[in-house]
Amino acid sequence: MDEAKSYKWFCDALTPHEAHIHGIATIVFSKQSPYQKIEIIDTNSYGRCLVLDGKMQSSEVDEFIYHEALVHPVMLSHPDPRRVLIVGGGEGATLREVLRYTSVTTVTMVDIDRDVVESCKTYLPQWHQGAFDDPRTVLRYGDARKYLEEMGETYDIIIIDISEPVEAGPAYLLYTREFYQIVTSRLGPEGMISLQAGTTSIADLLNLSAVYQTLRTAFPIVVPYQASMPSFGLPWGFLMASKRIDPRAFGPQEIDRRITERLSCDLRYYDGPMHQGQIILPKPVRIQLEKHERIIEDNQPLFSYN
């Protein structure tokens, strides 16, 4: 108890009524960028952590779960991913995972906040592991929506690795029907996307449900799935969307075969059984996702609790 009293505490507010509290050992870096408050902290439970606008983004102990869950289901479902776009992804860990694929020729990463990327380059080397220096990496700073609207390139995979849609933050217009229509237009015939979409807690399904229904206005196939993220304090939801390919069609043996053939290293979290298991959501979550009718639009955005 005396040790706990000596901490400074970071309170990660999950809802207006629930929070996950972390004891801070050291504040490593803190800066207000033009877009958001950036903090890098050391905690005794989860090691070094990135916090944006007061919300946990990733931790040293379990970031591999989040980034493998975000990247590998969609990359392994696609028949031959070569050109990949990452929207956001400031830590460089999503980039790290994409670059594990020998088929990938180009990864373009577009992040609006240079300060986030530069601070992660300096203070989170275990996240990016030199991925920014890979010759296949193309790093751009700017608004990803504007980039997609103005650039003519098409991609096999688009991975959207952004923070939650906080009202004062930079991300909320990257969750709308209009944005997903732009994304669809920049994908090849077998193009696919993946993104994080908030918690799968049955007490707080608004964000996941609304994003799920909004994606269905732009894609014929939308697959929700989840991963356990201890540092987030709640189970976390992801979504894949596709023009043609249904990731649910691949069994454990096929996913394990593709991992062996396509990847240059072993994975710590994701494999064939995990691919199958993570798409089986609890019954009350599945029911709520289908019942929900909220569509997110530019003039009717959805904001998460902050």
Is 161 part of the annotated catalytic residue set? yes
How many residues are recorded in the chain?
Answer: 306
Q: In whole angstroms, give the CA distance from residue 277 to residue 73.
A: 12
Instruction: For residue 98, report the phi and psi dihedrals to the nearest 5 degrees.
Output: -60, -40
Residue among 180, 160, 70, 156 nearest 106 (CA): 156
Of the candidates 140, 157, 150, the residue with the CA atom closest to the CA atom of residue 182: 150
Q: DSSP 3-state assignment of 145?
A: helix
Q: Write the burial class of residue 65 (CB in 10 Å: 0-12 exposed, 13-18 middle, 19+ buried).
A: buried
The single residue of 62, 111, 161, 204 carrying the catalytic annotation is 161
Euclidean distance between CA atoms 80 and 294, whole angstroms:
34
C-alpha to C-alpha distance for 154 and 158, rounded to whole angstroms: 10
Strands across the sheet with 8-15, in order?
8-15, 18-32, 37-43, 47-52, 55-59
Residues 6+ apart with CB under 8 A from 300: none
CA distance 303 to 267: 34
Q: Mutual orientation of helices 206-215 and 283-291 as an angle, nearest 10°?
A: 60
Instruction: Dump strand ranges (E) for 77-220.
Output: 83-88, 106-111, 137-141, 155-161, 187-199
Active site residues: 161
